[in-house]
Amino acid sequence: MLRTSTALTSLFLVVMLFLSGLDSFKICSYNIPKFNKAKSSNYRVIHTLTRVFSRCDISLLLHVQDPAAVRTLLKSLNSENYRYLGKFKYESVSSEALGKDPKDLQHYTFIYRTQTVSLIGQHQHQSSNFVRPPFAVHFHSNTTLEPEFVLIPLHSEPTQAVQEMDKLYDVFLEVVKMWNNTNVMFLGDFHAGCAYMTRSDKKDIRLFSNTSFSWLITDRIDTTVTDQTHCPYDRMVVYGTSFLKQIKPFSAKVFNPIKNFKIQSRRLVEVSDHFPLEVELKSSVMSLLQTQSLYFLLLSLHFLLDL
């Protein structure tokens, strides 16, 4: 009996160790102010961004001023120095140049792993309600429980943040009608806090008043780097219970390169005065293996009890 108990314990530990080694599907978002050719020529900036984005299956880059900067980052991500970790290849998809200031036209850019993600469609919202209208991208992944989902970024204009956040609801209706898919996530720098959005403003924002939307990054989270600010500017919002159930619990958070990469805050500010955000989707591979492993465990248990 003791031998059987020991064998069962060992079997259980092996199965759990195996499952815990599997990664979830990670979506990241990062506001990189004035990401242009000059900024991307800074080795420290590109090195830090490469370390951040090499952890993610899909990454949103905000405030891209020059597509050449994205090409430099992709070259770094696809270099052998980083690909040896997972042998991943990265590609990108970008919006048109957006904004009213000719000196600060910005692109929404997604970088994604071609091994885990494929592009189904893209749609540039056209509306005078936004300074930088959202750019919706329809993705497919064989590694997530819900294989198809839509990501919609926003870099709001600070002085009209409340109005732009409210108008995201209209973008949601437009995209759902176009692609017939309600697995929608809004993400980016909404300026959703401090002086730009107060508690009383929430009644005027349909993504708050409509309880079908879940704000994964709460009002108490500081998404800014410096000690002078404590503001939840950057957010991730998902629609519906179906997509929400695909989110790994407590995985939506700020990623802090200062703590994780052991770099100085002044060096990180060279990259951005915002922290990156991240969230993990449950893996379909993990779900399948959990089922198979449980089946294997039960069979083994039956066999051992018959000894």
Residue 27: in which H helix or E strand, if any? strand 25-35
pTM of the model: 0.86
Count the neighbouring beta carbons within 10 Å of the beta carbon of residue 190.
30
Show me where the domains of the chain are located: 1-22+286-307, 23-282
Q: What CATH architecture is 23-282?
A: 4-Layer Sandwich (3.60)
Return the residue matching tokens 């930088």.
Answer: 132
What CA–CA distance (Å, rounded) separates 43 from 201?
41
Long-range contact list for 199-208, CB < 8 A, 24+ apart? Answer: 201/162, 204/162, 204/166, 205/162, 205/165, 205/166, 206/166, 206/168, 206/169, 207/165, 207/166, 207/168, 207/169, 207/237
pLDDT of residue 87: 81
Reading the chain (307 residues) residue by residue, the pLDDT tens digits are 545 554 444 444 434 433 443 458 999 999 999 999 999 999 999 999 999 999 999 999 999 999 999 999 999 999 977 665 668 999 999 999 999 999 999 999 999 999 999 999 999 999 999 999 999 999 999 999 999 999 999 999 999 999 999 999 999 999 999 999 999 999 999 999 999 999 999 999 999 999 999 999 999 999 999 999 999 999 999 999 999 999 999 999 999 999 999 999 999 999 999 999 999 999 876 544 444 444 444 455 455 545 5
pLDDT of residue 81: 72
